[in-house]
Amino acid sequence: MALRLFLRLLLRLAILLVSLAVASWVIFWITQELPGDIARVMLGDGASPEQLAAKRAELGLDRPFRVQYEEWVVGVLTGDFGRSWYSKLPVVSLIAPRAAVTAFLVGGGLLVAVVIALPLGALAALKRRQWPGFAVSAASQIGMAIPAFWAGILLVVAFAVQLRWLPANGYVPFTRDPAAWAAHLALPVIALGLVQAAVLVRYVRSSFLDVLGEDYYRTARSIGWTRGAALWRHGVRNAALSLVTVIGLQLASLIVGAVVIERVFVLPGLGSLMLDAVAGFDLIIVRGIVMVLVATVLVINGLIDMLYAVIDPRLREGDRA
């Protein structure tokens, strides 16, 4: 059985690596084939054909596609994403500090979402035929219909403009002032978390409902466990498993939501860097960011898959069958 599990993990790893390779090729191809001539954009008015050719050579754009792709992949594997066409700064040095901002935003948003969704989902399942159940379901419906940017704007109007408790936007690095850092991240994290919570709460509710219909729950109840205790033991574990799966699936939408939130709150994260780079036609930066984001989603999903294989007994039993 251990061998089966090992082979299964190996297969998952192989799938992950192939996905990463395909993704890298697609990303490179798209950013290479986008219309527009960077040399002309950079040199501006009055550039001669010779100057344009020289600029293309300087940027290495005159070489065969395959050579450029291989160079980029080797660079990415060794942590060198190339240099910005405009500022000449290493792309890694541009991405790294901004990736931290996005990671805090996504991580914080996820935490808020889980902390809200677990108890409310449980409540909605337990009281599904009473008003708290209806209220939670209705709230999650509304929450899912609200775009993240709108939630963000509402929070800004309430807590920044009206009450003036928190800054409306901007960012202060943790190392400069931890309190200001937290204050600046609070509203964006809540905005992102609330919208995600609305999605998660439905999964939590249905996984708790599943447990209520299971034999082991009835057994637990029949040997004298309270509803709460039985749910706590079986329900939370079940909900956690389904949450992990859903979070894996939701990760991509969470990152997209973070990009929007970064815009609303003027956070210097990966999303805003990418939008700036697209606008400024600095495609080598775009390429690096998209690769980082896609790799993050693929790797985390792959890890969740593997974890799932390890921790879920049913999946292992399925193996044996």
Partner 1 sequence: MSTNTKRDRYARRAVVALVATIAVLLSACTPGGGQTGSPEPQASARTLVIGATAEPTSLDPTADAAVAGSQVMLYNVYETLVKVDSQGQLRPLLAQAWDVSPDRLTYTFQLNHAAKFSDGTPVTADAVAKNIDRIKTQQVAAKLKTVMSIVAGTNVVDEDTLEVSLSRPSVNWLYEMASTAGIVINPAGFDEATTATAGSGPLTLDRWTPGDSISLTKAPSYWGTPSRFDEVTFRYFKDPNAMNASMLSDQLDIISNLQAPEALAQFSDPSRFTVLEGTTNGEVVMGVNNGGDPTDPNVPAGTGNPALKDVRVRQAITMAIDKKALVNTTWGGHGVVLGSMTVPTDPYYEDLSTLFPYDPDKARALLAEAGATNLTLRLKPAALPYATKAAQFIAAQLQQVGITVQVEELQFPARWRETVYDRADYDLTIVAHVEARDLSSFANPNYYWRYHNPQFDSLVTTADQGTVDEYVSGMKQASELLAQDAAAVWLFALPNLVITKPGITGVPTDAQSLSFDTTTIARA
- For residues 42 and 58, is the Cβ–Cβ distance under 8 A? no
- 209: which residues sit within 8 A by CB, 6+ positions away? 125, 128
**Is residue 180 within the footprint of partner 1 (CB under 8 A)?**
yes
36 torsion bin: left (phi>0), alpha (psi -120 to 50), beta (else)? left
Q: Count Cβ atoms below 10 Å from residue 134 Cβ, excluding itself.
A: 13
Distance CA 300, CA 308 (A): 12
Binding mask 263-282 for partner 1 (x = CB under 8 A): xxxx-x---xx--x--xxx-
Q: What residues between 5 and 34 interact with partner 1 by CB under 8 A? A: none
Q: Taking the complex as a whole, how short is the minimal distance between the CB of residue 100 and partner 1, in angstroms?
A: 13
Q: Which is nearer to partner 1, 200 or 309 (CB)?
A: 200
Quick one: which of 86, 150, 174, 308 contacts partner 1 (CB under 8 A)?
86
**Is residue 50 within the footprint of partner 1 (CB under 8 A)?**
no
Distance CA 123, CA 59 (A): 59
Q: Count Cβ atoms below 10 Å from residue 44 Cβ, excluding itself.
A: 7
- 16: which residues sit within 8 A by CB, 6+ positions away? 298, 299, 302
**Is residue 133 within the footprint of partner 1 (CB under 8 A)?**
no
Q: Taking the complex as a whole, how short is the minimal distance between the CB of residue 208 and partner 1, in angstroms?
A: 12
Q: Taking the complex as a whole, how short is the minimal distance between the CB of residue 264 and partner 1, in angstroms?
A: 7
Q: Which is nearer to partner 1, 110 or 190 (CB)?
A: 190
**Is residue 61 within the footprint of partner 1 (CB under 8 A)?**
no
Q: Which is nearer to partner 1, 63 or 227 (CB)?
A: 227
Q: What residues between 146 and 165 interact with partner 1 by CB under 8 A? A: 153, 156-157, 160-161, 163-165
The one segment of 117-125, 137-145, 208-216, 303-311 that binds partner 1 by CB under 8 A:
117-125
Question: Residue count at the site for partner 1 (CB under 8 A)?
Answer: 63
**Is residue 70 within the footprint of partner 1 (CB under 8 A)?**
no
Distance CA 70, CA 201 (A): 44
Nearest to 105 by CA among 193, 169, 198: 193
Distance CA 5, CA 311 (A): 11
Quick one: which of 168, 212, 240, 249 contacts partner 1 (CB under 8 A)?
168
Distance CA 45, CA 173 (A): 39
**Is residue 245 within the footprint of partner 1 (CB under 8 A)?**
no
Give the ranges where the chain is alpha helix by DSSP (H): 2-33, 38-43, 49-58, 65-77, 91-126, 131-145, 148-155, 178-212, 215-222, 227-230, 236-264, 270-279, 283-311, 313-320
Q: Taking the complex as a whole, how short is the minimal distance between the CB of residue 265 and partner 1, in angstroms?
A: 8
The one segment of 14-22, 56-64, 175-183, 294-302 that binds partner 1 by CB under 8 A:
175-183
Binding site for partner 1 (CB under 8 A): 36-37, 40-41, 44-46, 86-87, 89, 94, 98, 112, 115-116, 118-120, 122-123, 153, 156-157, 160-161, 163-172, 177, 179-180, 182-183, 185-186, 189-190, 224-229, 231-232, 263-266, 268, 272-273, 276, 279-281
